[in-house]
Structure 1
C-alpha cells in the first residue's frame, strides 16, 4: 500500500512539473507570436542554452546607454536565477526591474510565471490579471487565462482577515445636535452623535467545488464588525452565501442565495435572505466590467416599520490607465419597500475610486461617492416626503514596505456627511482606520 501511495505521489509531482513546463511553453509561444522582439528573442535563446556569459555580453552590446545596460544585465541575472530554480531571488530581481519601469510587459510576464512556479498564487494571479487587462491580443489573453485557470484549480479556497484600530467622531450614527426641529417643533434627540475609540475586525472565506471544467459551486461566509469602550454601540454582521457559476463567452456568470444577520450592542438588529445574480467580464485594454442584481427579504427585531424587501443593482467598471494608476467607476441603485410608505425609498449612488502605485512599498487610495434617497410619502408632521443627500470622501494607503510574512498594514481616513430635509437624519462622521490585513 505504501509503495502504491509513493508511486501516486511521484506521478502527481511529475504531472505538476509537466503542467508548469507546458504552460511556460504556451506563454512563450504566444508572446513570441504576438510581439516578436529580435534582440530579446536572441537573448532568451542564449539563456535557454545556458550560454550565460554570451548572454551577458549580448545584453551589454544592445544597450544604448548606461541605464539600459544595467537593466539588461539585471534582467539576464533574474532569468538565470529562474532557470536555476532560485525562484525567490528571481522574483525579487524581476520586482525591482518592474519598479524601475512598470510598463515593462516582458518583465511582468516573467515575474508572473516565476511567482506561479514558486506557488505564490495571490501575487501571480494579480500580475496575470493585470496583463490580461492591458492587451487585446486574443492569443495572449488565452495564455494568461491558462495560468489563471491553473491557479484557480490548485487552490479552491480563500481566506482573508483584518483587525485594526478604529476611532470615530460618530460611533452610533447619530445626529450632530441634541435638539432637532421637525416642522418647527423642537424635539430632544436621544441619539446625538457620540465619539469613541474601538477596534474593527473582518474575517471571510470561501471554498469552491469544481463540478465540471466550466461549472463550479462556491460556499462562503464571514463576519465583520466593530467594538467600542461602550459595548452598547458594538456592531456585528454575519453573512453567508451559496453560488453556482459558469463561463459564458467572455463572461463569468453566477447565481446564488445570500443571508445575513446583524447585531447592535450584541442584541439582534435585523436579518435578511434572498437570491442574486452576478456577472463579470475582462474587456482587454478597455478594462473589466462586473454587475450584481439582488433581492432580499429583511426583518428587523424591534422596529416593524422597516420590515420589507430590498432590491439592489450594482455596476462597476475598472480601467487600468497606466501600470501605476487604476480607476474604478461605479453606480448602484436601491429600491426599498417597507410596511410603512414613509420609510420606503429609492436611491442612486455613483462612486469613483483610484489606486496609485507610488512605489513598490506604497499604494495610495482615494475614493468618493454620493447618494440621493427619495422616500415615497410624507414624513410625519412635515407634510412632505423625506429627501436625503449624502457624500463620502476617503483616502488611504497600503504600506507594503512594512509587510511581514504576508501581514500588510493599511491606513484609511473617511469623512461622511448626510443632509436631510428632516433634521433628525442629518449626519457627520470622521473615521480613521489603522489595520493589519492578511490573505491566505
Structure 2
C-alpha cells in the first residue's frame, strides 16, 4: 500500500502540471456527447466507478478522430483511478490497471507522439509494479521536454524505481535462418608464393557455405541485495543456446557474476563484478573463462545516457589450447532519445586477444550506429550498422604473402520491423534481417552471409 500511496501523491503532482506538455495532447476537452462530458466531471470528482460505467460502452473500437482518442483516454484515466481507489477491492485493482494500460497502449499505437498518454501509461505500469516498462515510458516522456515540474516528478518516480529494484530478468527466443552458418568463403582458387614464384592451386574439395534454420534461446536474471542506501550486491547469471539441424553448429554458453553496484546520486551507477563463463560448441565443451568487468552508466541529460564497460578475462580451451590466453575489451555506448518516438545509439569498442600462438593474437576496433522510430498505425522501424577491424600479429602464409599478417574488415547492416498493435501475450513479433560481409587479405577467410531473426518485443 505504501507504493500505491506514493504513486497517488506523485500522480496528483504530475496531473496538476500535465497541461503544458504539448498543445496537441489528448485532453479533457468538452465533447459533443453529454455522456462523455458527464463522465469527465465524475473523473474530476474522483467517482471513477461511475465514470467507467458510462465510458465502457462508449469506448471506440477504432481511433479515427480526436474525439474517439479523447473518449478512450478518459476511459483509461477512469480505469487507472479505479485501480488506485482505496474503496476498490484488492482483487479488482489489477484488472482495472490492466484495462487502463490496454487503453493507453491502443492510443499510442496510432498516435505515438502523444506524450500525455505515454505519461499515464508509464504511471500505470508503475502502479502495476512493472518497473522496466514504466521506466522505459517515463524516459521517453522526458525526451518530449515536459514542463520542469512534470520532469522533476518523473525523476522522483525513476528514483523510487531504482531504489526498490531487487529482482530483474529477461528472456528471448528467435528463429534464425542463415545463408552461411559456417562463414565459408566462396573462393575455389588459392595463390601460393613458392620460392618467389606465385603458383595457382584449385581446391579439390572447397568448403561450401551451408544454410540452415536455427533456433536461439536466451535468458538471465539478477538479484540486488542492499548493503547500504547507495550500495547493492549484484548476483546473477545468464544462459544462451543456438541449435541448427544436427550438432555441428550448435552453441551454448553459461555465465555468472557477483559484485557491488554503487548508486551515485540520481544520474550515475558504477559496478565492479567478477564473472565466470562456460561455453560448448557442437555439443562438446569448448572453453571457460574467469575475470571481471567494470561498468559505468551516466545520465548526461534527460535524453542522453552513456555507458562504458571494461573487462578482462583469462580464457582456457578444452582442446584448442593454442587459443588460451587473456581477453580484454573496452566499450563506449551512447543512447540518445531524441524525441518520444525517435531514438539513436552509437557505440565504439576496442578488444585484444593475447593467445599462446602468435598467429592468432589480434586487436580489434568497432564502430556502430543505429536508429529506431515509432510510426503511426503501430509500425516501428529500425536500422543498425557496424564496422569491425581486426589485425592479427602472426604470419598467415600461405593464406597471405610470406611474412604478411592477416587483416580483416567486417561490416554488417540490419533492418528491423514490427507492429506495436499486434501482440501475443504482450509481445510483438519483430522481424530482423542482417547482411554481413567480411573482407580479408587472407585467402579463404572472407565471407558473406544473410541472417534473419524473428524476435519478440515486450509491449504489455
Relative to the length of structure 2, the TM-score reads: 0.79
Aligned length: 415
1:180 & 1:137 partners in 2: Cα distance?
66
Cα displacement (A) at 1:415: 1.4
Q: Does 1:196 align with 2:212?
A: yes
Partner SS state of residue 350, structure 1: strand
Distance 1:24 1:303, change over 3 A: same
* Contact 2:429-2:457 within 8 A present in 1 as well: yes
- Find 1:220's aligned residue among 201, 217, 236: 236
- Find 2:255's aligned residue among 230, 239, 243: 239
- Find 2:45's aligned residue among 36, 46, 49: 49
2:143 & 2:173 partners in 1: Cα distance?
31
Question: Over the residues paired in the alignment, what is the CA RMSD in angstroms?
Answer: 3.4
Report what 1:321 is aligned to: 338
Distance 1:332 1:368, change over 3 A: same
Map of 1:89-104 to 2, 5 A cutoff? Answer: 89-104=99-114
Report what 1:150 is aligned to: 160
Report what 1:390 is aligned to: 410
Report what 1:10 is aligned to: none
Q: Does 1:417 align with 2:445?
A: no
Report what 2:34 is aligned to: none
Map of 1:11-410 to 2, 5 A cutoff? Answer: 13=1, 15-28=2-15, 31=17, 47-50=43-46, 71-85=69-83, 86-135=96-145, 140-152=150-162, 154=164, 156-177=166-187, 180-183=190-193, 184=198, 186=201, 192-249=208-265, 250-359=267-376, 361-381=378-398, 382=401, 383-410=403-430
Distance 1:359 1:271, change over 3 A: farther
2:295 & 2:147 partners in 1: Cα distance?
26
Distance 1:237 1:346, change over 3 A: same
Partner SS state of residue 308, structure 2: strand
Partner SS state of residue 111, structure 1: helix
Distance 1:182 1:429, change over 3 A: farther
Cα displacement (A) at 1:229: 1.5
1:136 & 1:253 partners in 2: Cα distance?
28
Ranges in structure 2 where 5+ consecutive residues have no aligned partner: 31-39, 55-63, 84-95
Cα displacement (A) at 1:158: 2.3
Query: Comparing both structures, which one devotes a greater share of its residues to helix?
Result: 1
Distance 1:90 1:207, change over 3 A: same
Cα displacement (A) at 1:34: 8.3
Partner SS state of residue 321, structure 1: strand
